[in-house]
Amino acid sequence: MDTIKRLNENLSKLDEARKSALGFLSELTDDKSFVETGAFTSGTTFEDGVEALGEGIITGYATVFGIPVYLFVQNFEAMRGSFSSAQATKIKNVMDAAVKNGVPFVSIIDSAGARLDEGAKVLEGYAKIIRLAASMKNEVPHVAVIRGAATGLMDVFANVADVVIFGTDGYASIAAPSAVLAKDGKNPSDAKKYLGKDVAEKSGVAALEYADVATLKNQIASVLTFLSGESKIADNPNKVAKKVESVSDAVGAICDNGSALEISCDEAATKTYFAYADGAPVGVLSVEGELTCKDFRKIKRFVNLLDAYNIPLVSVVDSDGFAARLKCEEKGVAKIAAEAYTAMALSENPKIAVIKNAIGGAYALLAAKEIGFNYTIAFSDATIAPLSSDQAVNFYDEKLSDNPQKDKEELKAKYTFAEGNPFKAAKDGYIDAVIDAREVKPYVASALSMLL
């Protein structure tokens, strides 16, 4: 009886210390589905001698809209969610269980940093969970949620995940926020303003954002369903669009009704989507504009993610190729571009290209047979060439007459017709179909049915 009484007292203390985190979990997971693991795991006491109840973290398993997950939630109310070697042990245990059982993993981060009195021990703990997160790739999906603070190596851990979802109250920095802001003359209390979701969106860290738990629950379920490769009921695969005049029109035409979920909504010319086409999950990568360092990084991440789960890639291209900017060259754009080309070349998932305009390096990366595309479609008015018509006429300057503007326009038209028309590339065997843009969905759906 004394043992039961002591157990109930300990549980009462534990629950009091983590009301907020438990409430969050209750909203996020299906009713009565959460089962806690390692509830009483505890390491050393904190610097003021107060026991680290639950180690500032809750671990266990549950379902999210019927999808089984292993997960942890850091509890900022318990010692600011400070990371410890005991936290590392609890996280390791649920990560191991996720991999062993082939179940997705969700990490919900809210930690101000390391438990300072643990010295090297806590650093070994960080290294342990980062290594596990890296080895988990290609095994089970991992979604990281920045609920509050993601400071120091927890920021690194989150970015090893397949998808990062950022909360309205979230903020992240690899260095201490106070140090980062102080060096720029900013108020350290403004971490959410300067290190929050807007920065994460611009940098490409945040794949998705949420303002409430209901939205987060839907996002997690959507991502995990997609990465699992589960099919959905398709709409009419033979549907012809009313009009396709832009890349966004083409994406809308290809994807089943309302299925395109844009991820990583940054300022790049490249947009990435989780979507469904003819009921099958596909990653759609659309490019509208010139390619910069930001685009190459984004393309590399997306291609690697899709390849890890063998999800087909559909690229929709309207690009004049590389951005001619000194700033890009100073950033080492060729090296960054090489990483994107390497990712594309090594990926083994099915790949389909849809071309509205593909010039130079954009074609080589996003549509070329030799980089790995299985099926390539070009719109009838597409341009495919080593250089854009504007760039090409520069090679003919010596031939211009007293009316250079007129001659330039004539040369541009001649170059586009002779060198850039899609039928030339099709004649050489590089384009499988030249089509009316409105018929893009039936062609993509048919190609997918053969490749899957």
* 256 and 288 co-located in one domain: yes
Centroid of chain to Cα 358: 24
* 27 and 119 co-located in one domain: yes
344: tokens are 């594309």
**H-run or E-run covering 328:** helix 326-330
Tokens 């495919």, residue located: 384
**148: three-class secondary structure by DSSP:** strand
Handedness of CA 14, 17, 20, 21 (dihedral sign): negative
* 155 and 96 co-located in one domain: yes
Which of 199, 223, 247 represents a domain boundary (last residue)?
223
* 144 and 101 co-located in one domain: yes
* 209 and 263 co-located in one domain: no
349: tokens are 């998932």
Looking at residue 230, its pLDDT comes to: 86
* 109 and 27 co-located in one domain: yes
Asked if residue 375 lies in contact with residue 432, where contact means CB atoms within 8 angstroms, the answer is yes
What residues does 100 pair with on adjacent strands?
none
In tens digits, the chain (452 residues) has pLDDT values of 566 666 556 556 656 667 888 999 999 999 999 999 988 776 555 445 555 555 689 999 999 999 999 999 998 777 766 888 989 999 999 999 999 999 999 999 998 877 878 889 999 999 999 999 999 998 999 999 999 989 889 999 999 999 999 999 898 888 777 777 877 778 777 777 778 777 777 777 889 999 999 999 999 999 999 999 888 877 899 999 999 999 999 999 999 987 899 998 787 899 999 999 999 999 999 999 999 999 999 999 999 999 999 999 999 999 999 988 888 899 899 999 999 999 999 999 999 999 999 999 999 999 999 999 999 999 999 999 988 877 777 766 555 555 666 667 777 777 777 788 999 999 999 999 999 999 999 999 999 999 98
Q: How many residues does the chain have?
A: 452
* 102 and 250 co-located in one domain: no
Domain that holds residue 292: 232-451
Which of 223, 254, 289 represents a domain boundary (last residue)?
223
* 349 and 398 co-located in one domain: yes
Helices 247-254, 440-451: inter-axial angle, 10-degree rounding:
50
The β-bridge relationship of strands 57-64 and 35-37 is antiparallel
Burial of 42: CB neighbours in 10 Å, binned 0-12, 13-18, 19+:
middle
Burial of 49: CB neighbours in 10 Å, binned 0-12, 13-18, 19+:
exposed
Closest alpha carbon to 282 in 317, 254, 240: 254
Count Cβ atoms below 10 Å from residue 313 Cβ, excluding itself.
25
* 141 and 286 co-located in one domain: no
* 406 and 445 co-located in one domain: yes
Closest alpha carbon to 290 in 318, 320, 333: 320
Count up the domains in the chain and report the number.
Answer: 2
CATH number for the domain harbouring residue 121: 3.90.226.10
* 257 and 218 co-located in one domain: no
Q: What is the C-alpha separation between 96 and 335, in angstroms, rounded?
A: 35
* 214 and 256 co-located in one domain: no
Which of 223, 246, 280 represents a domain boundary (last residue)?
223
Cα 143 to Cα 16, 102, 131, 156, 199, distances in angstroms = 28, 14, 16, 14, 19
